[in-house]
Amino acid sequence: MPKAGIIYNDVKPIAGRVAIELKDQLTAAGWDVCMTASIGGILGYSNPDSPVCHTPISGLTPPGFDSDMRFAVVLGGDGTVLAASRQVAPSGVPLLTVNTGHMGFLTETYLNQLPTAMEQVMEGHYEIEDRAMLNVQVWRGDSVLWEALCLNEMVLHREPLTSMCHFEIEIGRHAAVDIAADGVIVSTPTGSTAYSLSAGGPVIAPGVPVLQLVPICPHSLASRALVFPDHEPVNIYPVNIPRLVMVVDGNGGCFVLSEDRVYLRRSEYKARFIRLQPPEFFRILREKLGWGLPHIAKPSSVELP
């Protein structure tokens, strides 16, 4: 019996309703179905009184979501996709992402197209696009305080008010650099269209094997976004700051003290997305962000007399 999964945003009633309907349809068609809420992929926050909030990366995988599962359907918006990718990346389950939210930059199809999409997926007529992920850890001495898989970005900044921070950053074997800014972002190509884009970073096509470092409101004109190979790990040391806040993928993180070290590296796990047609990144940029749309009238091709 083939096995499929459903991951849904249980905060949105429509996602929960469609999840139950889809489970009944798949079960009637002879599929073994595992269903779970995306809240299981929400990272959560540590706090100063209890800084250790360490859930192993593999501990987020729901029961039944293993390598025998052919695919999983994700019902929600971009936040749900981010959470679901953390839940299933260790088992390599491909995700069909269905938009029930607003922007849906990471989603593949819409609810009104779900019946056709399911028929195509159940027949195996699709491609799989792999997206790189980051392993993010906070170390204090020889102990890991917190870790997570990251599909978009890691952000490190001061709280509760925005103000200048100093960071010493080591990339691979290169000499450490000092950056003074309101914060720093380390982003994957997938995350290059999210927070780092708003902070002035470049858009990077998903298949390019790089990461980028983006200072947030840097103090110096010389501190600008840096793109570097994704096989090089990154160590970030806060300098002379009592406490910073680290946020991963916008939905979880921890406090980082001056004696801590943030360590990032490309994960051995990947987010695997089902594509119903060959991926076309520029089309998504155009449809979702308006990139490349004409802003002036083009001259007519008709020759005047």
**pLDDT tens per residue, range 35-56:** 999 887 766 655 555 555 556 7
Q: In which residue are the tokens 């806060």 written?
A: 238
Please determine, looking at this structure, whether the domain spanning 1-129+268-287 carries the CATH number 3.30.70.360.
Answer: no
Question: pLDDT band for position 163 (50/70/90)?
Answer: confident
**Hey, where are the domains in the chain?**
1-129+268-287, 132-266
Rounded alpha-carbon distances, angstroms, from residue 172 to 178, 200, 224, 266, 282: 15, 23, 18, 12, 31
Helix/strand number for the chain, H first, E second: 5, 18
Q: Is the pLDDT of residue 72 over 60?
A: yes
pLDDT of residue 215: 96
Q: Which two tokens stand for residue 55?
A: 């859930």
Active-site residue (options: 32, 68, 78, 260): 78
234-239 and 32-37 strand pairing: unpaired
Q: What's the N-to-C CA distance of the chain in angstroms?
A: 71
Q: CA-CA distance, 2 to 31, in Å (whole number)? A: 5
Q: pLDDT tens digits for 2-24?
A: 999 999 998 899 999 999 999 99
**Local structure of 266: helix, strand or coil:** strand
Binding-site sequence positions: 78-79, 152-153, 182, 193-198, 251
State mean pLDDT over 108-125: 94
pLDDT for 283: 87
d(CA 97, CA 50): 35
Mean pLDDT value of segment 141-164: 87
Q: How distant, in Å, are the alpha carbons of 70, 71, 108, 276 from that of 118?
A: 13, 11, 12, 10
> Does 78 participate in catalysis according to the annotation?
yes
Domain 132-266, CATH homologous superfamily name and number: Probable inorganic polyphosphate/atp-NAD kinase; domain 2 (2.60.200.30)
What residues does 139 pair with on adjacent strands? 144, 261
- Is the pLDDT at 138 greater than 60? The verdict is yes
Of 88-97, 139-148, 285-294, the poorest mean pLDDT is in 285-294
Instruction: List the beta bridge partners of residue 243.
Output: 257
CA distance 179 to 143: 26
Whether 1-129+268-287 shares its CATH topology with 132-266 is answered no
Residue 232: predicted pLDDT: 97
Has this prediction a pTM greater than 0.85?
Answer: yes
- Does the structure show a pLDDT above 70 at 182? yes
Binding site listing for NAD(+): 78-79, 152-153, 182, 193-198, 251
* Model confidence at 130: pLDDT above 90: yes
Task: Give 227-258 pLDDT, tens digit per residue.
Answer: 999 999 999 999 877 788 899 998 777 888 88
Higher pLDDT, 143 or 265: 265
